[in-house]
Amino acid sequence: MDKPPIKPGELWHFEYITPTFIQGELVEKVLTKGRTRYQKYIIHDTSIFGRTLVLDDKTQSAAFDEFVYHEALVHPAMLTHPNPKSIFIAGGGEGATAREVLSYRGVEKVTMVDLDQEIVELCMRYLPDHHQGCFKDRRLNVIYRDAYTFLQQSEEKFDIAVIDVPDPLENGPAINLFTREFYLLLFKHMNKDGLVIAQSGPTGPAFMDQCFSAVSNTMASVFPIVSVCEAFVPSFGTTWGFVIGSDSLDPSKLSTQEVDARIELRIENNLSFYDGITHSGMFSTPKYLRELMNKETRIITKSNPLFVP
């Protein structure tokens, strides 16, 4: 099959899902692009996925399906906890992670620590449909620091920690936030029944050994209970994985009926992706993924980091 014609004057965004697999999309308008102290960025309007944030050539969030990613990232852990009040977010510059956390009636304080103030401010300006004004919520405190350093110097404890940072790219800003040392720090900062959930990379058959199984194995070296789930995010080109660690609670044990009951009781917003049936499906991971995790031996450390292509 011939490659699709690219008309003169058209701008396309081509993204390497792997070194041998490229996903392409027509760009309708570039709103802003450049480089901060830490990473390259583009925010553009695209033909299929709408307004999209791209960091270091990797799609982070697209208007068309960001609700899938952010609801899958936040709600399994938040609903498993009996009454989450104090929440830690590492990264989450678009504000959509904070948006989902702040939809809980019982949440009292959210501490969002993001390294790159310039990116957060660009998201405030150009991604209003992502954050939906959550940066004005009095419960949210945004701190512009490295999350690893913040936890080293803080004595605060949390009920939930959401790790929403870019993939561990070589020379990228998030390498240390996928390590055993970071998970040990998180463990010390969690209250009783606390849960940590981390975006953990692709889980599709062609990509699953990039990051996901190593993150799961690394978190399991720290937390007594580790559960995994996944959701298909079209703009990412594959299913995407999430790893949850806890000292006492297992999200995979929640029934469909209990999830729906807790959503009704606790959440103010209307969810578009996540409910009890979706929860059950997310934790019903396929055989190939379970077999890979059973074979995984890698533990990510600062001295032996993991890099994705």
Sequence length of the chain is 309
CA atoms within 13 A on the CB side of 180: 14
CA 226/CA 252 separation, integer angstroms: 10
Q: Which residues contact 134 (CB under 8 A, 6 or more apart)?
A: 95, 98, 99, 102, 140
Q: Which residues are catalytic?
A: 164
DSSP string, 31-58: EEEEE-SS-EEEEEEETTTEEEEEETTE
Q: Scanning the structure block, which residue is given the tokens 């917003």?
A: 269
The candidate with the shortest Cα–Cα distance to 96, out of 20, 212, 199, 217, is 199
Q: Which residues contact 301 (CB under 8 A, 6 or more apart)?
A: 179, 180, 181
The candidate with the shortest Cα–Cα distance to 195, out of 86, 65, 57, 66, is 86
Q: Scanning the structure block, which residue is given the tokens 């580790």?
A: 226
